[in-house]
A = this chain, B = another copy of it.
Amino acid sequence: MSTGISPLAPTDIPDMPEIAGVRLATAAAGIRYKGRTDVLLALLDKGTAVAGVFTKSKCPSAPVEWCRTRLKGGRARALVVNSGNANAFTGKTGRQATKLTADVAAKAAGCKASDIYLASTGVIGEPLDATKFNGVLEALSRDAAPDRWMDAARAIMTTDTFPKVATARVKLGKATVTINGIAKGAGMIAPDMATMLSFVFTDAPITATALQSLLKSGVEDTFNAVTIDSDTSTSDTLLAFATGAASARGAPKITRASDPRLKAFAKAFHGVLADLAEQVARDGEGARKLVEVIVEGATSKASARRIAKSIANSPLVKTAIAGEDANWGRVVMAVGKAGEPADRDKLSIYFNGIRVAKSGARDPSYDEAEVSKAMKNDKIQIKTTLGLGKGRDRVLTCDLTKEYVAINGDYRS
């Protein structure tokens, strides 16, 4: 298991403001961990709209299937998240556990089970004993308060070394609205639609349809552009909740994501997602360096994305970064294996702004000492220019260290 807080953890953690219509509570239900909280209940006021994106895994967890089905309603009254057990690959038992959890939560929140959203993270394949939520959720619903954001972020952690929160305030019409987000994720991170788990809340009055569209476009360059180990989780879930409470303060009701009044909000919303996604990369299992991979001059953005992912997922690139070695030969290898258009003799490669290779060969003016110094930074930018077109993309990842192997060599046992 992890041995301390990631050296890449953000140093200034924002004060998380309250969001009208959202109350939170956490508890230690003893799902798996001892001596720490492992269940989060978020109560949402009537009229809260919900949107979600999920893993593209063909073997999704039971809670992912539960949420997908519920999402058609577009309404939410509560969110229950547990850590320690992913309730994934648990067959019929898994479906029964989601049903039981939702029933218990619905009773506690005083709503229908179909208004309950669920997420679970932790070990795959172990049956989740949902009877442990009996009593617990009811107590939490009495206890829930609007200021427990850090507790909420902590309760959903697994191998994370720090809680991940982000917040933004922005004008919507004449009212100021708030966006708060929390996330967890440190390994099995190669989101193909969302990340492990992330939840974003706002008091802005936005319909489920508009929120869904905002979320879908928002993940593309944030959570979907993060990879830690190329392993896509069975449980990736990103849910957004809009309580609409700000309409009482004059915020206009938004029904389309393309509404021009939503522009500033959309930007802030995207900023919260990007902030959380970067924190996931910063907490990559065993990570000592944050790595930003930029690909420019590709034939398209999609092509640039595939090449950037090929670089970001390459064990040889990642171990070289861990060794503080500007091994651009391995970057060439990763470009070459991506299967995308590339002309070796037009390639240039930069490490933290220093050009080490140009026109398909080592840059003759490149100074090894200067590059070696740059590689000691805890943030490394690898930029590759292909010289073929205008396609550009950016992906975040981290280095691959012995600690990653240690953490994952004895996670379950």
Residues of chain A in range 187-235 having any CB-CB distance to chain B below 8 Å? 187-188, 190, 192, 229-234
Give chain B residues whose Cβ lies under 8 Å from the Cβ of A401.
405, 409
Give chain B residues whose Cβ lies under 8 Å from the Cβ of A315.
229-231, 315, 400, 404, 408
Q: Mark A374-413, 1 if CB is under 8 A from B, else 0.
A: 0000000000000000000000000011101110111111
Min CB gap A403→B, angstroms: 9
Min CB gap A409→B, angstroms: 3
Q: Mark A296-325, 1 if CB is under 8 A from B, else 0.
A: 000000000000000001111001101101
Q: Mark A49-86, 1 if CB is under 8 A from B, else 0.
A: 00000011111100000000000000000000000001
Query: Considering the chains assembled together, what is the distance between the CA atoms of A188 and B401 in angstroms?
Result: 17
| A320 & B409 in contact (Cβ 8 Å cutoff) | yes
Min CB gap A299→B, angstroms: 12
Q: Mark A71-106, 1 if CB is under 8 A from B, else 0.
A: 000000000000000101111111000000000000
| A59 & B333 in contact (Cβ 8 Å cutoff) | yes
| A359 & B232 in contact (Cβ 8 Å cutoff) | no
Give chain B residues whose Cβ lies under 8 Å from the Cβ of A125.
328-329, 332, 357, 361-362
| A409 & B124 in contact (Cβ 8 Å cutoff) | no
- Among the 9-residue stretches A109-117, A257-265, A336-344, the one with 4 or more Cβ atoms under 8 Å from chain B is A336-344
Q: Mark A172-195, 1 if CB is under 8 A from B, else 0.
A: 000000000000000110101000
| A126 & B362 in contact (Cβ 8 Å cutoff) | yes
| B58 & A316 in contact (Cβ 8 Å cutoff) | no
| A412 & B341 in contact (Cβ 8 Å cutoff) | no
Min CB gap A350→B, angstroms: 14
Main secondary structure of the interface of A (DSSP, over half): loop
Q: Does A273 contact B (CB under 8 A)?
A: no
Q: Does A335 contact B (CB under 8 A)?
A: yes
User: Quick one: given A125-B332, A234-B332, are A344 and B59 in contact (CB under 8 Å)?
Assistant: yes
Closest residue on chain B to residue A341 by CB atoms: B58
Query: Considering the chains assembled together, what is the distance between the CA atoms of A313 and B323 in angstroms?
Result: 22
| A361 & B320 in contact (Cβ 8 Å cutoff) | no
Min CB gap A91→B, angstroms: 3
Min CB gap A237→B, angstroms: 14
| A335 & B58 in contact (Cβ 8 Å cutoff) | yes
| A323 & B400 in contact (Cβ 8 Å cutoff) | no
Q: Does A360 contact B (CB under 8 A)?
A: yes
| B320 & A412 in contact (Cβ 8 Å cutoff) | yes
| A124 & B359 in contact (Cβ 8 Å cutoff) | no
6 other A-B residue contacts (CB within 8 Å) besides A89-B332, A234-B333: A125-B361, A127-B362, A234-B336, A320-B408, A401-B409, A404-B405
The contact sample of 15 A-B pairs, CB cut-off 8 A, is A57-B333, A58-B340, A59-B333, A59-B344, A91-B359, A125-B329, A125-B332, A187-B316, A188-B316, A231-B314, A315-B404, A319-B405, A322-B409, A401-B405, A401-B409
Question: Which residues in A have some Cβ–Cβ distance to B below 8 Å?
Answer: 55-60, 86, 88-94, 123-127, 187-188, 190, 192, 229-234, 313-316, 319-320, 322-323, 325, 327-330, 332-345, 347, 357, 359-362, 400-402, 404-406, 408-413
